[in-house]
């Protein structure tokens, strides 16, 4: 079965405010699939992000529900756009088919454990920082707290990658897709699986 991809996905496109926010050199330490922990999440991929020169990990989360048609087939959803852009950024060929099952695009083989597959093929070993990511403080609308957030788009750790990421972040801010809270001075605390900085509506 072929992958289901929304139209417009599948193609690649993009100065720090302090040492560990803004554009940072990053690597991927590991992946966790948390979709079974949340009823609303058809997809919940949590990537543990290492930030150069920081002892704290960050979490890049791709999560939300997919849209389905009257036959129960996948028909779209914002989470798919984010997922496929992120997978393109890391060179991952896996996606979901019309039935919402994980499979490889090249040969259609099923991927039974997406976290294991990502950990086996797309983690960065030996303190490597091959990517650039955008880290910012996002203020929760309900409780007013600011949480470390890693934008779901990452780019190669090159001068061109930095320019592309900066342009992408500028576009996201201009169009109201990034709501950045004032920077804090204290060291960030690691986030936990239950310490979600969003509601269901905000995650979609």
Is 16 domain-assigned?
no
Phi, psi at residue 79, to the nearest 5°? -60, -30
SS3 of the chain:
CCECCCCCCCCCCCCCCECCEEEEEEEEEEEEECHHHCCCCCEEEEEEEEECCCCCEEEEEEEECCEECCCCCEEECHHHHHHHHHHHHHCCCEEEECCCCEEECCCCCECCCHHHHHHHHCCCCCCCCCEEEEEEEEECCCCCCEEEEEEEEEEECCHHHHHHHHHHHHHHHHCCCCCECCCCCCCCCCCCCCCCCCCHHHHC
Domain coverage including residue 73: 22-187
Which pLDDT score, from 0 to 100, does residue 147 have? Answer: 83
Is the model more confident about 185 or about 161?
Answer: 161
Question: According to the model, what pLDDT value does residue 95 have?
Answer: 97
170 in a domain, yes or no?
yes
State the residue for tokens 């309900």: 142
Say if residue 170's pLDDT is above 60: yes
- Residue 123 counted as domain residue: yes
HSE (CB half, 13 Å, CA atoms) of 146?
Answer: 15
Give a yes or no: residue 13 inside a domain.
Answer: no
pLDDT in tens, 43-71: 999 999 999 999 999 999 999 999 999 99
Per-residue pLDDT of 86-128, as tens digits, reads 999 999 999 999 999 999 999 999 999 999 999 999 999 877 8
The lowest-confidence range among 24-28, 87-91, 198-202 is: 198-202
Q: How confident is the model at residue 141 (pLDDT cuts 50, 70, 90)?
A: confident
Q: What is the per-residue pLDDT for 84?
A: 97
How many structural domains compose the chain?
1
Structural domain includes residue 199:
no
What's the pTM value of the predicted model, to 2 decimals? 0.79
């Amino acid at each position: 079965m072929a992958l289901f991809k929304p139209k417009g996905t599948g193609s690649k496109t993009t100065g720090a405010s302090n040492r560990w926010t803004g554009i940072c050199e990053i690597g991927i330490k590991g992946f966790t699939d948390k979709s079974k922990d949340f009823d609303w999440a058809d997809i919940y991929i949590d990537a543990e992000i290492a930030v150069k020169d920081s002892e704290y990990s960050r979490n890049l989360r791709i999560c939300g529900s997919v849209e389905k048609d009257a036959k129960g087939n996948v028909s779209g959803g914002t989470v798919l756009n984010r997922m496929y852009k992120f997978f393109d950024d890391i060179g991952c060929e896996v996606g979901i088919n019309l039935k919402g099952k994980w499979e490889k695009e090249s040969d259609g083989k099923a991927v039974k454990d997406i976290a294991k597959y990502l950990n086996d093929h797309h983690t960065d070993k030996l303190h490597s920082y091959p990517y650039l990511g955008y880290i910012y403080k996002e203020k929760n609308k309900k409780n007013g707290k600011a949480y470390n957030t890693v934008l779901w788009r990452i780019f190669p750790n090159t001068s061109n990658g930095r320019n592309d990421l900066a342009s992408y972040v500028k576009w996201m801010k201009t169009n109201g897709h990034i709501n950045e809270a004032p920077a804090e001075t204290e060291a960030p605390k690691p986030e936990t699986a239950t310490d979600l900085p969003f509601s269901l509506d905000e995650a979609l």
